[in-house]
Structure 1
């Protein structure tokens, strides 16, 4: 039985759920509330995946219908969102950068996390808003000064799809660059739809794709990463404490608008991102209005 973890409901009121898929592909949704209030660091650190499987086998979790329910980010607001830049050689090349010899690390505010199907705001003054499909790591136990890659693997709870939306005019100009400005915008880290346990994922061989208005933009594989997930977690642990529930987004492959081959995101555009086995996102974009945070025009689906 394959398990996928999700959070369903209106923003701020999501309820934890697990999707159980049988060998024949049949999926059923179950309420996780008897085990946990949320899919968060506490749940992950307390062997939540194993307890869920046992509860399903014993019939402790009630089956539910997910029809009509919003899909939220599959992890409750993390303490940290850590990002890796330029982690695919071809993307570094299209960005005009030399492939790094050590991971390029930056942070995103945790309030950038949004649902995988939520309408997505383009900042009021943005002219160069860009997509980035990325494999997201979710941490399952504290990682600090890890001594081996095996130790790092043991700290990974699971994986999800992420979109690291980036405003290039805010990010790049200037001698030093301004990555924090370009990567911290509201709802700029759609996450999900599911969290899949690491034991069920070959994270080093996953196809990643992005479509914009139905046209292919990115099509690559995590096997092309410069630094794989275990290496990333081990490296980060030497410089910061990673806590259960933290999210690491691991870099994007080639095919972004920054390459000059494609136009940047415009109001009305639909961006779809998917990773094998981890699901598919879809965001419709609208122009945010000055002085507002999340007002969505009536014609844009939430």
Structure 2
């Protein structure tokens, strides 16, 4: 049995793995739970995510990725090894070739760390590709034509904005404002206004069920429970969409600003194409209610959410894997 080619979307919030010929075979949170006393990994992925905020002192559930790059090398390596063992891609005689995605503006040291982690986890040749480019391919955009395509990829740790033409990035920007930052803003808003402490999972639930970033676009409410900061006892409150829109306003403005900057640096001919084709939103953050309306209003161009935005990067790696032999000779192999 020979090793297969695999594509990895190594995200701050989730890891998705695409195996050539099999499609997306894994989609799990990038969380590792370990015993702090013994330094032993206890659980990875979905199982570890269920432990976040609910473990005794000696068990720590952490995210080894931060802002789209590796924050803890050993844990990232353990996590990748676990996932690769789970999907059984290693052959008896060969190791798989791995295509892995990274944000646009990471340093050569950060690139080297990602490559080393993938090699130590069992990859033979490791290729790096920029995330917005792969996301655009996965969203079905014709980026290899001489015309402008714009993609805004809102992940867990970073938002990548890029204009692509002829199969490459023309202008791009990457900011460390994305899904995790939205959760933190919700956490601090609830803490400040209601003097109530809630966990990350509750903040994420609020984001998914009632949050909006476009004024008046949603009128929902949700009951949440947390710990009262004054009495120290559990308490339930009701949170409304309008409040969360206020809480997220400043954070979302950074994404709007980054998108405007990229458009301002785009050659006029490509800008004309973007007015015709619109901007495509990918990544989990594309599912944030009202983000498409807000960007459309601010950028004055049509904004569309990709089909299955969370899977765009993984799908894109699948398409690139088909052409890996052609790409091996190009600059992709750093």
TM-score when scaled to structure 1?
A: 0.23
Which gives a bigger RCO, structure 1 or 2 (Cα 8 Å, sep 6+)? 1
Superposition TM-score, scaled by structure 2 size:
0.22
